[in-house]
Structure 1
Amino acid sequence: MSPKYWVPALERANIIIDVIAENPSKLRLIDISNKLDINKSSMYSLLNTLETLGWVKKDRHETYTLGPVLGSFASAYYRQFDILETFSVEAAKAIEVVDEHIQLGKRYDAEVFYLAREEGSSPARLVTDPGMRFPAHASAIGKIQLIKLSYEELLELFPEKDLPQKTENTVGHVDELWEQLQQAKKDGYVVEEQEGAVGFCCVSAPIYNKDDQLTAGVSFTMLENNWTDKRELAAREIMKLAEQLSTNQTL
């Protein structure tokens, strides 16, 4: 965006909210000030305004959490996705076949925002929950939503070319990611083996709207010891689920 139309105060507020979201009830004014290198006077004004608006809340220990207004925004955000109800119904059918956790997510730039999850019987605790963001390149559900990008568009997302590592298995360079995406185009799905979290493997397929625009992704996630036996079955079922959601979705 052109600097002419950029509002620094809004950018600062957004950064502050991000920091508080990542560290709820852990940071005081001075902590946030030091962390973001914003002087105490300016930070006081920003936090006071955000608190007055209900975007953040200060507790009795003088630390901050997200406020109720952001909670209402989140509820409104989710309500606009009619796909959520369909996902809940159709994912349950796929889980009957594969019996592993299924997640629904939508990409925003270089990250995936998780919208919903339906769980199989596995006791495994996933590293992502609805409402969380995660690097797109380190997750199957993120990678599958990159397949429509040109190489130049991929470089715009990852200009450094070297990709941040979540585990030692995470794809490390944009050229390697590009090759994975070309294969995913041919297959109709993409796999990720312990790139987002050690011990977990995923397979994801794309969701399209009526205009054939890729709008979201859906994925199976399972423990590594189940992966060998279930990989092919999960790939087939996740593509079926994605096709069903594409038929019914209004993202």
Structure 2
Amino acid sequence: MSEPLPVRTVLVTGAARRLGREVALALAGAGWNVGVHYRGSASDAQATVTDCAAVAMAGRKVDAFQADLGDESQARGLLGRVAAAFGPVDAVVNNASMFEHDTVDSFSYAQLGSHLLTNTGAPILLAQALHEHVKGRAAPPRDAVVVNLLDQKLWNQNPDFLSYTLSKAALEAANTMLALALAPRVRVVGVAPGLTLTSHLLSQEKFDALHRLSPLGRSSTPADVVAAVKFALDNTSITGTTLLVDGGQHLMKFDRDFSLM
């Protein structure tokens, strides 16, 4: 008779919609307790909680947690709220992201600052909080992991979305520093998708055409990205590196962001 799966708890930021929702659903189905973070999409977050609960194993917990990650006090307090509701936390998937267009011509301190707070500062604070949370556990420690969602754009740069790109580049650099600073208690892994989901900026026809622009003839799907996140969470030998999941799009040169091509 196989042993029951250990109960692990994960906080997924930006999990009300899109890719974060897909990650939350997959981890709920894989036996995790799931904290569904959202900023303003309360109804979507509750729908994600309901759908996660429908696929979760018996006895597993799912709940929604609101926080504005651009506010330092709210970002600092988020993991503690999840721990108070669920017990020990084992992982954070930093998926929440600000993504607003600017270029060198429209760049401002305000745009850069807003992107850095949400896209760089909050993931670092949550990694710090997870490390503090697990330091007091009795040996041997359970494996604790931070997964940071990045972007193939960092390896295939263009001048669009300047502040967003800078904030993600800073987070990619933080992967290395955090992996060194938080070892051996916490692993830190990046996952960098390519073009994965369409948006209001792209018609379905245009999205399909752009999705095919890669050496493999297809970019990443939500299932591909989720599989990489699960791999990063489960493989206890990986830290301080990034998994590019993009069909090889980072190997090609694009003069503009996909949404503006």
With the shorter chain as reference, the TM-score category is under 0.3
**TM-score w.r.t. structure 2 length?**
0.26
TM-score (norm. length: structure 1): 0.26
